[in-house]
Chain A
């Protein structure tokens, strides 16, 4: 299978890839999301900052359709994730903090397996091309995934996303635990994906990479975005100060 990145028609590009409107999610007495609003368009990279328990993982789970909102709406490419999770996930590629693979299978076999789950039939050659594109060295592609580092596993996750040609890329703490070189590679890969029209939502604490990768930064507090910043308008130090300030307000 040859993977070709398609250019989005203008009309399609104008429509939001992700639209979260006044989303509320409660777990018993605790309110995880309290009227969250978030819109993401094709090619945009949005970084979601927030302390642990702010609602980042709940937001991701709502987008993937693992949870249904108690109020509000979560739409991916116009598909309601709560009522049609499989349809919504058809447009989403998700790379968790720890990309877990079948340890006995090679990178190629893992990629082909996840592609099969997504309804794709990837040839070995196409799998090699995708893994190379994602940055996994060729000599590692045939090795069992048990021997892979976290960065290598993430690259297989990126290859799955590339194969899927997903409109929305969800990244959960993508650079935590990566060495600086691998983190830099990852930033480049994400930027490439965005340039091709993929919308990217990443939940992270890594302010340095946020400034490098993101077009917009949202600070999530008590289940809603309290700050929507253009990181390019601030340098690293100012961004860090602003984030710490917000955290102090949240915890006060």
Chain B
């Protein structure tokens, strides 16, 4: 049979597959799962966007109220205002008025995967209140493997359920024919097993890829669409190609198992075990390996250190000494100009925060290093399983991966320090030289740089997402080609 006749054979196999009711039942079930997953994804993203919008509104409200209060108190009046009610006091504004947030906005492809975002917040309020010790490490990072069976998102359907659909579609091709005896009729024709297998599995790959990629597109459209892609078109195209390759890889697994000529029941048993191995056992093993490669620092030790620091500072004598040392470092001639400076609440608070930072720096650093190491090893180990490769690519594109969350927490901590760097000299200046806005005004000081307060700059990891999608495509393609080559090598003869 010439190569030119292959399309005709492929067409015959396509007609055969599309005539089967099971094919349509599988596609319908898959489409329903994709739609449900896209809908839950859209709902989650909408909630995240709402939370971020509310945070922005809250920031604006805080500034608006501070301005109004500033205007109200900057006129002579008999009323008296405390520092925590006074936005002209830099410390008062920083601590009690300002609403600063670190945000992790959803990417344009956020519908694809819940990832870490199902258990980790996308918005963190940057606070200068009483509880400031571990704001930037408050949420423990887990490996992606631990979270893999969590939310019913598109990533779950695509990574875990799509292979089952492919197995249902392709798992008994050739082996069912072998059981029914049709294979002997096929084998008696002047055609080799490679060509027949290529046509059968090629046709099922066409149906499966169309069903999965088309179904995903349809589900996204029904869930409201992705919205403006803003430069994410390449990543989306790479992900679509990686998804198609993932489907083809599973078709290749089915073809390889069919080439063992063990019959339909054995083929299905082998395939289900392979599915469980690739999607569950291997990622779980990788999670255990991750724990060994990037051991988690002791949380108890960090909490203990935090308590010890708080206990030390709250001891009156020790706290005063720490505050005095900090103040003399910041304002060497403070004692001459304002001897009672160390008794000021704002100075005590700044000194306390600085002391906590210093006391817990090692713990903070080890947690940060652990987060980075866990993220790096997660990426490396993910390459060992097709399921984790695709899951990581989807989560990175969605911006919900562990690595991005680690970066987000680090950025939140850095933002807090940046805000303190902004306020600290202003607070010190006001403490050293308090100048009222006007005589007889309730406003006691002159802080009004509300617009100059640094804003958080969220990171959108577009380049990382594109790179991960490309890596996933390359790895899955290599895996699919390897399996196809193995199948080709095995299919030299029909079974006798």
Contact = CB atoms under 8 A, between A and B. Distances in A.
A61 B496 contact: yes
A116 B11 CA distance: 10
Given A67-B496, A104-B19, A104-B20, A89 B12 contact: no
A117 B191 contact: yes
A113 interface: yes
Interface in B343-363: none
A247 interface: no
B8 A114 contact: no
Contact of B496 (A66, A86, A100, A118): A66
Q: Which of A93, A102, A117, A164 has the most CB of B within 10 A?
A: A117
A182 B123 CA distance: 80
Contacts of A105: 16, 19
Contacts of A164: 189
B9 A100 contact: no
B316 interface: no
Nearest to B196: A117
A119 interface: yes
B53 interface: no
Nearest to A98: B181
Interface string B185-214: 111111110001000000000000000000
A66 B184 CA distance: 10
A114 B189 contact: yes
Nearest to A67: B496
A242 interface: no
A107 interface: no
Contacts of A67: 496
Interface in A79-121: 85-87, 89-90, 92-94, 96, 98-105, 112-114, 116-119, 121
A201 interface: no
Given A86-B191, A86-B192, A119-B190, A96 B495 contact: no
Contacts of A112: 12
Contacts of A102: 16, 182
Contacts of B189: 89, 114, 117-118, 164
Contacts of A157: 185
B79 interface: no
A102 B57 CA distance: 65
B187 A66 contact: yes
Give the contact-size bracket for chain A: 20 to 34
Given A61-B496, A100-B180, A105-B16, A114 B190 contact: no
Nearest to B5: A119
B138 interface: no
Contacts of B9: 116-117
B266 to A, nearest CB: 19
Q: Which of B1, B16, B185, B495 has the most CB of A within 10 A?
A: B185
A47 interface: no
Contact of A89 (B20, B188, B493): B188
B2 interface: yes
Contact of B494 (A66, A99, A113, A119): A66
Contact of A100 (B1, B182, B191, B196): B182
A80 to B, nearest CB: 15
Given A105-B16, A117-B9, A121-B8, A92 B188 contact: yes
A64 interface: yes
A94 to B, nearest CB: 4
A78 to B, nearest CB: 15
Nearest to A166: B190
Nearest to B8: A116
Nearest to A68: B493
A244 B20 CA distance: 49
Interface string B250-272: 00000000000000000000000
Interface in A48-89: 61, 64, 66-67, 85-87, 89
Nearest to B494: A66
Interface string A147-187: 00000000001001000100000100000000000000000
B345 to A, nearest CB: 83
Interface string B1-38: 11001001100100010011000000000000000000
Contacts of A103: 180
A93 B187 CA distance: 11
A61 B184 CA distance: 10
Interface string B438-469: 00000000000000000000000000000000
Given A98-B181, A112-B12, 9 more contacts: A89-B188, A100-B180, A103-B180, A114-B185, A116-B8, A118-B1, A118-B190, A119-B1, A157-B185
Interface of B: 1-2, 5, 8-9, 12, 16, 19-20, 180-182, 184-192, 196, 493-496
22 contacts: A66-B493, A66-B495, A85-B192, A86-B190, A86-B191, A89-B189, A94-B184, A94-B188, A96-B185, A96-B188, A98-B181, A99-B185, A100-B184, A102-B182, A104-B20, A114-B185, A117-B1, A118-B191, A119-B191, A121-B8, A157-B185, A170-B188
